Structure 1
Amino acid sequence: MKFERANITTSTSTPIRDVIAVIDHSATQIALVVNDSGALVGTVTDGDIRRSLLRGESLDQPIENIMHRGFRALTEHSTGDEALALMRREKIRQIPVLDSAGRLVQVFFLDELIRPVILPNSVVIMAGGEGKRLRPMTQNCPKPMLRVGDRPLLEIILQQCIDAGFREFYLAVNYLKHQIKDYFGDGARFNVQIRYLEETQPLGTAGALSLLSQRPTKPLLVMNGDVLTRVDFSCLLRFHEEHNPAATLCVREHATQIPYGVVRTDDIHVLGLEEKPVLTHYVNAGIYLLNPELLDLLPENQFYHMPQLLEQAVGQQCRVAAFPIHEYWLDVGLPETLERAHGEWR
């Protein structure tokens, strides 16, 4: 990735929400904060952003409030080998290079210094639903095979996973499953392996996992087959590895405006009034990383939704972590969201 200063740098007063756009658009997982003279004063990684979202930080506050001031940097004449050694030692993925005045000269990126990694994790994509809310479009076409642009939605999801390094896939199928199986086959034309979890009855968003012929040895990526997103799977895997939960649930911030003035009371006494407040919540984004042992909690070949599995895990004292998605995300489950996908997805 060629270093383009304008695409990766920002100022201390830039709002967090604008820095999110810088990180997303540059695909470097980092923004570099510089002062008026061009000297580097702080860094903000993708992980810093997600942690601030979980803390409930306002996206309108300046980035200097959450930037990392104790960053590591190299001098102007450092080599790629020196950068790689430091990255491995410090477990970091980007190293800025500064001149004698502290001004940004270059950035080394780990992904450029090492060969692409083939991930050992398997992926399960839930593609068995009938898509009743999208009738009549799904009358003779399974929902994951509806086209967004010139490709089926399921192919877009599959290709994103392939680009991230995944090579072993399971497609959970039921409704009009022959169309999916005929299109994707065994995965040979995508240079991956595809197997099928064939439901004889609807099994919900988790039940099909009980059909896996063998228990995976690595955390299992599970995705709904109607989600369009640009989430960085490598960040998700690193997050799961660093925090070591039994499961990681991807969440998305959702805002709801109350159309009335809200009154806070104590008995008959009015404590305060707020006109049409906006409430924000994290909602389930339909993307999960599950440790293999969680599959033992599933009933065999029975309807079971993923929230049931995660609630059962929490009830048994298993840790479930939330991974906030700030990248593009869209649930393509309604005619209006499918129309949005046609206009927004490139």
Structure 2
Amino acid sequence: MSKDWKKILLSPQDSLRDALSIVNEEALRVAMVVDDQERLLGVVTDGDIRRAILADVSLSTAVAEVMNCNPVTSPMNCSRNEVLSEMKTRSILSIPVVAEDGRLVGLETWETASAHRRYENPVFIMAGGFGTRLKPLTDHCPKPMLKIGGKPMLEILVERFAKTGFKNIYISTHYLPDIIRDYFGDGRHWGVNIEYVHEETPLGTGGALGLLPDNIPDLPLIMINGDVLTSLDFERFMLFHDTHSPAATMCIRQYEYQVPYGVISCDGEKVIEMTEKPIHRYFVNAGIYMLSQTVLKSVPKGISIDMPALLDSNINNGSSVLMFPIHEYWLDIGRLDDFHRAQADIHQLVW
């Protein structure tokens, strides 16, 4: 049973922003809402938060408005195996433990109930880019091998997947491939198995999928750009995809842009409305995907294609492509400013 459950308690009046802070900082993926007697009123999971973000719910909203008021709970006398079985059946990662009078007495999580996790799903890391916008740092070093906090960003990704239980890792290379191969080898140092696919010529952001070997595990594949620094919960991402079984799931990030001027709405010469420095919100592609085997097998070997075109073709064919919003830390390290920001952020991240 998790020893940290006291740190994830909220009152009904606390905000969704408070819940988001707990979910991100305490790494238990859930906040529990209690009354002043610590009786369980509801739970707020990161899934609830992601759905609220998609619905454009304000982060100042009280958690009572978005919490699950009827969560799955476990009595105190349930065995760990029974709790684990319930989690598997319901595809959830945590279950509050309550006494007969409704008081919260603990939290069972998938990590504590199943200490030795292993997922056979392949992970494909795209590491072949030239990193032109990061010159001169990339003149003699592939961009994913640039060090963040003293460690190559590609190694940070490999370690995160290994820690989460993903052991089958494939890396796509093109620019200075020997530097990557010599550093990681077969991956045994990190407790994973690493295989490489090499693009003789650049194949776009999706074309390397066609170079994957035929014997990869017949399971949905996680694909991620090698220049992304994120504390995304990959386990929750996989669970979301497995629950809905789409052709593909794309991670998205909310992006805000504030117009630095007053914006005028008009009808001909007549002013209808004036809005001072409005904020526009968009969902942007975060460079992380989970792809079904059907999508993988649709990419011909040696054909150049970008991921937006590949996903558009599936959408046009009637296949389902879903969005998974990232509320955790995320940074696409494409420019020198991003690289310097990552150096400042890395020591504050909770993995």
SS at match of 1:345: helix
CA distance in 1, matches of 2:184, 2:174: 15
CA deviation map 1:93-116 (0-9, x unaligned): 322223354322211223212242
Give the residue type in structure 2 aligned to 1:24: N
1:55 and 2:68 correspond: no
SS at match of 1:12: coil
Question: 1:271: Cα distance to partner?
Answer: 2.7
CA distance in 2, matches of 1:9, 1:218: 36
Unaligned runs of 5+ in 1: none
Match of 2:126 in 1: 126
* Superposed counterparts of 1:112-151, under 5 Å: 112-151=112-151
Instruction: Sort the Cα spacing of 1:57 and 1:143 in 2 relative to 1 into closer, same or farther, 3 A.
Output: same
If the length of structure 2 is used for normalisation, what is the TM-score? 0.93
Instruction: Sort the Cα spacing of 1:181 and 1:241 in 2 relative to 1 into closer, same or farther, 3 A.
Output: same
1:163 and 2:172 correspond: no
Match of 2:345 in 1: 344
Question: 1:80: Cα distance to partner?
Answer: 3.2
Question: 1:71: Cα distance to partner?
Answer: 1.9
CA deviation map 1:215-245 (0-9, x unaligned): 6411111110000001111101110011111
CA distance in 1, matches of 2:129, 2:92: 40
Match of 2:281 in 1: 280
CA distance in 2, matches of 1:294, 1:312: 10
Instruction: Sort the Cα spacing of 1:102 and 1:150 in 2 relative to 1 into closer, same or farther, 3 A.
Output: same
1:334 and 2:329 correspond: no
Match of 2:237 in 1: 236
If the length of structure 1 is used for normalisation, what is the TM-score? 0.94
Match of 2:313 in 1: 312
CA deviation map 1:12-66 (0-9, x unaligned): 1222122111011111111001123322211111211111111221112111110
1:292 and 2:301 correspond: no
CA distance in 1, matches of 2:4, 2:192: 34
Match of 1:72 in 2: 72
* Superposed counterparts of 1:220-235, under 5 Å: 220-235=221-236
Say whether the 8 Å CA contact 1:11–1:33 is kept in structure 2: yes
Higher mean C-alpha displacement, 176-185 vs 2-11: 2-11
Question: 1:76: Cα distance to partner?
Answer: 4.3
Say whether the 8 Å CA contact 2:91–2:239 is kept in structure 1: no
Question: 1:282: Cα distance to partner?
Answer: 0.8
Say whether the 8 Å CA contact 1:125–1:222 is kept in structure 2: yes
Instruction: Sort the Cα spacing of 1:73 and 1:188 in 2 relative to 1 into closer, same or farther, 3 A.
Output: closer
Higher mean C-alpha displacement, 272-281 vs 96-105: 96-105
CA distance in 2, matches of 1:87, 1:299: 38
Question: How many residues are matched?
Answer: 346
Instruction: Sort the Cα spacing of 1:83 and 1:170 in 2 relative to 1 into closer, same or farther, 3 A.
Output: closer
Give the residue type in structure 1 aligned to 2:284: V
Give the residue type in structure 1 aligned to 2:336: P
Instruction: Sort the Cα spacing of 1:284 and 1:84 in 2 relative to 1 into closer, same or farther, 3 A.
Output: same
* Superposed counterparts of 1:178-197, under 5 Å: 178-197=178-197
Give the residue type in structure 1 aligned to 2:9: T
Match of 2:153 in 1: 153
Instruction: Sort the Cα spacing of 1:279 and 1:113 in 2 relative to 1 into closer, same or farther, 3 A.
Output: same
Instruction: Sort the Cα spacing of 1:2 and 1:312 in 2 relative to 1 into closer, same or farther, 3 A.
Output: same
Aligned-residue CA RMSD in angstroms? 1.8
Say whether the 8 Å CA contact 2:83–2:108 is kept in structure 1: yes
Give the residue type in structure 2 aligned to 1:328: Y
Say whether the 8 Å CA contact 1:215–1:292 is kept in structure 2: no
CA distance in 2, matches of 1:155, 1:331: 16
Instruction: Sort the Cα spacing of 1:121 and 1:88 in 2 relative to 1 into closer, same or farther, 3 A.
Output: closer
CA distance in 2, matches of 1:189, 1:7: 34
SS at match of 2:271: strand
Identity of aligned residues (%): 40
Higher mean C-alpha displacement, 15-24 vs 293-302: 293-302
Question: 1:89: Cα distance to partner?
Answer: 4.6
CA deviation map 1:108-131 (0-9, x unaligned): 223212242311111111101110
